[in-house]
Chains A and B, each alone.
Chain A
Amino acid sequence: MSSSGRTTPARTLADQLRGWPDERLVALLRARPDLATPAPQDSSQLASRAATRSSIHRALDGLDHLELSVLDALLVAGQTTPEGLISIVRADPQRTAAALQHLLDLALAWESPGGVRALAGVADAMRGMPGLVSGLRPSSPDAPGPADVAARIAELSPAATAMLRHVDAHGGEGTTGSARRTVSPAEARTPAEELISRRLLVPRDGDSVVLPGEVGLALRGGRTTAEPVDDVPDLATSPREPALVARTAAGAAFDVVRRVELVLDHWGVQPPSVLRSGGLAVRDLRALARELHVDEPGAALVVEVALAAGLVAEAVDADGSPAWLPTDEFDVWSGRPVAERWTRLVGAWLASSRVPSLVGSRDPAGKAWNALAPELSSGLAEEARRLALEVLAQLPDGEVLAAGTGIPSLVQRARWLRPRRPTVFADLVTAAVTEAAVLGVSGAGGLPPSGRHVAADDLAAAAEAIDQHLPSPVEHVLLQADLTAVAPGPLETEVARRLHLLADVESRGGATVYRFTAGSVRRGLDAGWSAAEVRDFLSSVSQTPVPQPLEFLVDDVARTFGSVRVGHAEAFLRSDDEAALAALVHDPRGRSLGLRLLAPTVAIATSPLDVLLPRLRELGAAPVVEAADGTVRVSRPDLLRARGRRGRRPAGAVEARRAAEVQAVATAIRAGDRAGSSRPATAESTTPSGALAALREAIEAGSTVVIGYVDNHGATGERVVDPRRLDGGRLAAYDHRADDVREFAVHRITGVRRA
């Protein structure tokens, strides 16, 4: 792939793209997804889009320090051979070559007939990155050779040398003051004039002078920088047994799944309300943290991950006010094996733009961030997580981030890998590493096999890898005389559900401790169990005989259970005439009223009073309404559910779809190219996008075009121009007729054709 474009130098970037094999084009569209949406018509449009300012900025953001430096060197050199470029970058030649190849693959540089060149917009985009790149200006078009420059520098007086170095160290620009612009070396009187006369400083408009790139190179020993640009910051690591890493990670994974389940089980019954600004109240978060035995950031992470996984959503609760509720997908999720539940969570976490680490801190306006708040997200979050995992995945097995110094060193590495990212990116990377540990993606500072699969987006393999380290479900508990039951591992769901009904949970973790109390046993009886059933269940799940005090407890509760009976009735009927009441109750015509005799003189009806009254009159009774109250309403907290987000697809499917799309886009571009090639070469581009593409092509190639232009008076004319820059809807171009650089409004250009 690497040499494909080099053998036949292309006239323009579009030409070059046309010459690329399909797979290279696909790789480009994958690396710069913004080029593919919407699908460009043909390679010209693709090239044009690749040269737009925003797209270049995006592409630059993804470059590491070495790649940026190579690109910078390319700008300094102007147009050069790969060998020439490699010679001026202070780095390992092979790595420089690889970086250059990456830039070519990204279409940030291309191979013109005159040598490798950076894309036109890159120079603008690279400006204003002091500290990240060399700071050198481009070399002069007619730059003398390095030996020549060195000779000229050698001729200088000490004062002039000092001045030259000063200018180089301070941004490569200075003012000349009274120095004359046009002097010969012999006539030079001041150091400034010495420099100007030897073209070591080049005057620009006003009284400023700049240091041309070739001089800067000479001053820095023929390289763009004094320091090497390929020294990747080392990670601080320490050895750790891989088995321990895997176990620690699995422990954390198990914990996080359990916690999410606990939170949502709880919220299904008692949902916290949604703040008016969205998000979860600090009070609710605090309560949650207590319940989960974690700190508040930990609790925030749990709920944020649940949100990202679509297990919790905003909906209205029973009272009609907005609340955070588990979604129906939660029910599906809770029925899955632990490993699968975990991958769902971490997959969602990895791809999510949420920033749970901010919870508890304050935004610039001084307002505290709430968990689940809609604005708690960052476009960089996903990139930070993927980058952090990528770096962790590079650690060999048996080596983990050192405690303490490990994370800062990883952040340093992240800075090197993404120098153009804002400082907040470092915070996001730090948060990503901590979150990965809490979620069980990493363990003890290293990535176990399961974590490596997550980093590679292979969730199915991750589930398989972590499964062997997760506690296997147990079916039995140990019953003890102090009225506790201990499940020495995660219980089978069905057993757990039943035990949950009969006993209160006292302690959670790898094991669960349940305590039986009179209240909890009564709860079981309330749910329809009989004392015998409770005993049978207990002896069936216990490996040891049921302790005698527990049997006594069950029997005691059962003995008093139901001695008072409560029921539901809409109305009551009472009469001193027992016979009359019995007649009513047994009247077949009154069957629909649901009458039932409680005592000889009291009956109840399940029909409401307003139905009952006329019906009783029909039946020949003459009832009198005694009092409307006295009815009992039995209510039970309902399990509430919100509707989950629809149309979610597993991560693999998303990936497959994206691959298919990219392929389709590449095919479409090819089709456009074929159509374009069958058109006459001089065809005028009259569509706006075609015109733009043609103009960008001309900027790249430095060629002359004829544009149709509507002037201020509405008259259409043709101009012969050399386009220079296209930005903000305006074209700057050298107008052959006016012999000057003019600006043209793009919307007034009716067509573009080659001159």
Chain B
Amino acid sequence: MNDGPLIVQSDKTLLLEVDHPSAPEARKAIAPFAELERSPEHIHTYRLTPLGLWNARAAGHDAEQVVDALLTWSRYAVPHALLVDVAETMGRYGRLRLEKHPVHGLVLSSTDRPVLEEVLRAKKIAGMVGTRLDDDTVAVHPSERGNLKQALLKLGWPAEDFAGYVDGEAHAIDLAEDGWTLRPYQREAAESFWDGGSGVVVLPCGAGKTIVGAASMAQAQATTLILVTNTVSARQWKDELVARTSLTADEIGEYSGAVKEIRPVTIATYQVLTTKRKGVYPHLELLDARDWGLIVYDEVHLLPAPIFRMTADLQARRRLGLTATLVREDGREGEVFSLIGPKRYDAPWKDIEAQGYIAPADCVEVRVTLPDGERLAYATSDPDTRYRLASCTHAKIDVVRGLVRQHAGQPTLVIGQYIDQLDEIAEMLDAPVIKGETTVKERQRLFNAFRAGEIGLLVVSKVANFSIDLPSAEVAIQVSGSFGSRQEEAQRLGRLLRPKTEGRTAHFYTIVSRDTVDADFAQNRQRFLAEQGYAYRIVDAGDLAAEA
């Protein structure tokens, strides 16, 4: 028996005892190939997945290193079957290579003939490859580069892409580091991406993913297409790029529902690209409008399916994916891997938090009890309206008021799902509200006022979930959410995690109705936050009032 901090389970999870003296070293050793699944206070859980192992292979780690790391740090004997499986899985990556051939253009080649035979025999692959050039090589039409990679991954033989990239139209972009500098991890992330060619950078919300994008653009020195989730986010990207790089506002175009500009750096929304008219995507030509040297995908975990299909045709261009999490609620992690690229950089939230770049957060669940009348109404209502009833109880409004009073003077966000509930709260607190129907202009005005500290309280609907930078928010009060989605939780928490002045702690309150579905969903949220390593407290609304 070895006194290591790691326990390797037969179901391919790795348990890391955090308080063990050699835990940091062990973490460093396993981080390249194991996905961190949960990081509660004592034992962190990592998982070995084929994608994770392939990511490690793509980053230059081999099976020997992985096995060695497991054997070195494991407290108990490592299940033999697991080691065999690791070696086998990792051995599958790179048996097939996509390469440039001087005569035939793009080719798929293999050093392992049986593998090539196996995949060529698969029905799906047959339509994507051209003539067989020799025993080990087969021609591939350039337009099938992405589809082929995707299909090969599904067959379990991911191909390594050595076919290179087009340089794209050159355009001078430099970082303007005046009064700020690239943080070390941002620099590392950008460099890892550039060395790898294409791929995904995983950084927590608030860690400055935009800057990583800007740094990569400065590396590429080429025209860039940036795909973002929505218009507000597009404007923020633009502002940020103007502030952080040598680019001027004229060089940056916005391509959204409202404006359609194509400039050397163009920021487009997913929505406009996926708009369909008469069965075709009218804005698809944007992708070919210029000879893009770099394509940046913001919030990769939200990338809609049609974009995947479009991305399949963009394999000759460098692609950078930015995200806070590789977990997709739709389980399409494999497509991100094959179409955008392997994970190139990853830093756990807590690490960056410990470095002081994002604020620590205090998560509190406030439990309210439904008044008897509402409880009866809840008990007798339809299952599909129950959540709404539970979420919108008036009991919550009192709690919101109490919390706002308690944190008077601190910039506060009240976040909710149901508009009438938000309206009611806004009215009662006499605060502006941002919801779906608020115009972009008005939204920007309010956000700017909030950032500037002119408004201390803002009531927002879920439109604020993504990519809106509200660095000054110190308190968030969540009154209802969309059924406890983990992703939503990550985003909302992200709103709060921008670094605070004087290192103050952010507060994240969630108000939950006891003994209802609301509380059941809160369980998911609680689990997610606890798994992410945040302190999570539960208090009773009555106790809270007493505290205040």
Contact = CB atoms under 8 A, between A and B. Distances in A.
Interface in B70-110: 71, 74-81
B75 A510 contact: yes
A469 B1 contact: yes
A247 B15 contact: no
A486 B77 contact: no
Interface string A503-537: 00001111101000000000000000000000000
Interface in A556-593: 556, 560
Interface string A463-499: 0000011111000001111111010110000000000
Interface in A232-278: 244, 247-252, 254-255
A478 B45 CA distance: 13
B537 interface: yes
A482 B77 contact: no
B536 A254 contact: no
Interface in A62-89: none
Nearest to A560: B515
A486 B43 contact: yes
Contacts of A438: 80
Interface stretch (B5-13, B187-195, B259-267, B477-485): B5-13
B544 to A, nearest CB: 14
A508 B531 CA distance: 19
Contact of B530 (A252, A471, A481, A544): A481
A507 B77 contact: no
Contact of B42 (A250, A294, A298, A486): A486
A484 B40 contact: yes
B135 interface: no
Interface residues of A, number: 44
B7 A509 contact: yes
B333 interface: no
Given A484-B40, A511-B15, A548-B538, A248 B80 contact: yes
B17 A488 contact: yes
A294 B81 contact: yes
A549 interface: yes
Most chain B CB atoms below 10 A, which of A250, A484, A509: A509
A483 B527 CA distance: 7
B303 interface: no
Contacts of A509: 7-11, 13, 76, 79
B42 A251 contact: no
B537 A548 contact: yes
B11 A293 contact: yes
Interface in A91-107: none
Contacts of A471: 1, 75-76
Interface in A450-465: none
A538 interface: no
Contact of A480 (B41, B74, B75, B79): B41
A35 to B, nearest CB: 43
B63 to A, nearest CB: 12
Given A247-B1, A252-B80, A549-B538, A481 B9 contact: no
Interface string B533-548: 0011110000000000
Interface in B1-26: 1-2, 7-11, 13, 15, 17
A507 B79 contact: no
Given A251-B80, A254-B76, A510-B75, A549 B15 contact: no
Contacts of A544: 41-42
A511 B80 contact: no
A511 B7 contact: yes
Contacts of A481: 40-41, 530, 535-536
Interface string B502-536: 00000000000001000000000011001100011
A392 to B, nearest CB: 16
Interface string B50-84: 00000000000000000000010011111111000
A548 to B, nearest CB: 6
A98 B2 CA distance: 46
B462 interface: no
B435 interface: no
A509 B78 CA distance: 9
Given A471-B1, A481-B41, A251 B78 contact: yes
Contacts of B80: 248, 251-252, 437-438, 443-444
B2 A247 contact: yes
Given A293-B10, A472-B1, A509-B9, A480 B526 contact: no
A250 B15 CA distance: 20
Contacts of A444: 80
Nearest to A510: B76
Contact of B11 (A469, A488, A508, A548): A508
Interface in B230-262: none
A49 to B, nearest CB: 47
A478 B38 CA distance: 15
A441 to B, nearest CB: 13
Given A481-B530, A482-B530, A298 B77 contact: no
A512 B263 CA distance: 57
Contacts of B538: 548-549, 552
Contacts of B79: 251-252, 255, 509
Contacts of B74: 510
A478 B78 contact: no
B530 A549 contact: yes
Contacts of B76: 251, 254, 471, 489, 509-510
Contacts of B1: 247, 468-472
Contact of A482 (B7, B11, B75, B527): B527
Contacts of B15: 486, 488, 507, 511, 513
A247 B40 contact: no
Contacts of B536: 481, 548-549
Contacts of B17: 478, 488
Contacts of B515: 556, 560
B480 to A, nearest CB: 20
Contacts of A507: 9, 11, 13, 15
Interface in A425-446: 437-438, 443-444
A751 to B, nearest CB: 67
Nearest to A243: B2
Nearest to B87: A403
A509 B12 CA distance: 9
A547 B42 CA distance: 11
B77 A488 contact: no
A298 B81 contact: yes
Contacts of B81: 294, 298
A489 B76 CA distance: 9
A486 B79 CA distance: 19
Contacts of A443: 77, 80
A5 to B, nearest CB: 51
B326 to A, nearest CB: 20
Contacts of B7: 488, 509-511
Most chain B CB within a 10 A radius of its CB, from A437, A444, A511: A511
B77 A248 contact: yes
A743 B510 CA distance: 104
A660 to B, nearest CB: 40
Nearest to A515: B527
9 contacts: A294-B81, A443-B80, A472-B1, A479-B42, A480-B40, A482-B40, A509-B7, A509-B8, A510-B76
Give the top 9 A-B pairs by smallest Cβ distance, nearest first: A251-B77, A509-B9, A510-B76, A482-B530, A480-B40, A481-B530, A511-B7, A478-B42, A482-B40
Interface of A: 244, 247-252, 254-255, 293-294, 298, 437-438, 443-444, 468-472, 478-484, 486, 488-489, 507-511, 513, 544, 547-549, 552, 556, 560
Interface of B: 1-2, 7-11, 13, 15, 17, 38, 40-43, 45, 71, 74-81, 515, 526-527, 530-531, 535-538
Given A480-B42, A481-B535, A488-B15, 11 more contacts: A443-B77, A470-B1, A480-B41, A482-B526, A484-B38, A486-B43, A509-B7, A509-B79, A544-B42, A547-B41, A548-B538
